[in-house]
Amino acid sequence: MEFPLVNILGVNVASLTMSQAVEQIEAFMEERRGALIATANAEMIMQATNDEAFRHIMNDAALVVPDGAGAVWAARHLGYPMPERVAGYDLVQALLARAPQKERRIFFFGSAPGIAERAREKAEALYPGVAVVGIRDGYFTAAEEPAIIEMIRSLHVDLLLVALGSPRQEKWLAAHLPELNVAAAIGVGGTLDVMAGAVKRAPIWMQKARLEWLFRGLLQPKRIGRLMALPRFVWRVLDSKK
């Protein structure tokens, strides 16, 4: 499947629905093409404007979905159709729900020690029969990296979820994807933390009101500095249309 791409401040984001994103990633897994999937929100797009290497990785990805109300707003403001937000957390849950029937082999990599294990327990409770064949936290040295890569490679993983934070997770995947022998990989940010119960997700009404970013800021005050990327993003999008 091919989807229209919307250039948002130099990052090409696919215009598609959640169901289309799920079907496309399922196709990647069937093809075992080693696909990198990125979930672009306003903060990531702003990072890409100042980091050429990161921007190239995003634009070379097999699929970039609009994870965040900012990306959807920007596309529409620029005059391009963007059906809906494809939130990374919800995308992962949809793929996990399908995994038992498809016999997918899944690996959770990243977050603090203990988080991936708790996220696996949550996945197994929510999606009976799901095969999370391996886990590894995101705290490792350069000397430990080859063993991590070999562990993932040896497990013949269909779906690798990497929670190292952006842009580190995308850069790590771009550097090592050929060695990993995975069918598809997604940089998932805080998804494992939410699954593990270590971080709360915004209430549904705040998600619908496009205020999830505000909830994260109130819950984690140390994120306030990072959230300042949002007004800068809005200004840059407005300015780009002049």
For the chain, the structural domain boundaries read 5-196
CA 210 to chain CA centroid, nearest Å: 18
CB contact at 8 A, 181 and 160: no
The secondary structure of 110-171 as a DSSP string is ESSTTHHHHHHHHHHHHSTT-EEEEEE-S---TTTHHHHHHHHHHTT-SEEEEES-TTHHHH
Strands (E), the chain: 5-8, 11-14, 35-40, 63-66, 105-110, 131-136, 159-163, 184-187
| Structural tokens at position 223 | 């994120």
CB atoms within 10 A of CB 232: 13
| CATH node for 5-196 | 3.40.50
0.85 surpassed by pTM: yes
Question: Distance between CA 65 and CA 127 in Å, rounded?
Answer: 24
- Which among 28, 79, 37, 60 is positioned nearest to 166, based on CA atoms? 37
pLDDT in 10s for each residue of the chain, 242 residues: 789 999 999 999 999 999 999 999 999 999 998 999 999 999 999 999 999 999 999 999 999 999 988 999 999 999 999 999 999 999 999 999 999 999 999 999 999 999 999 999 999 999 999 999 999 999 999 999 999 999 999 999 999 999 999 999 999 999 999 999 999 999 999 999 999 998 766 566 555 645 555 545 545 555 555 666 777 888 899 988 76
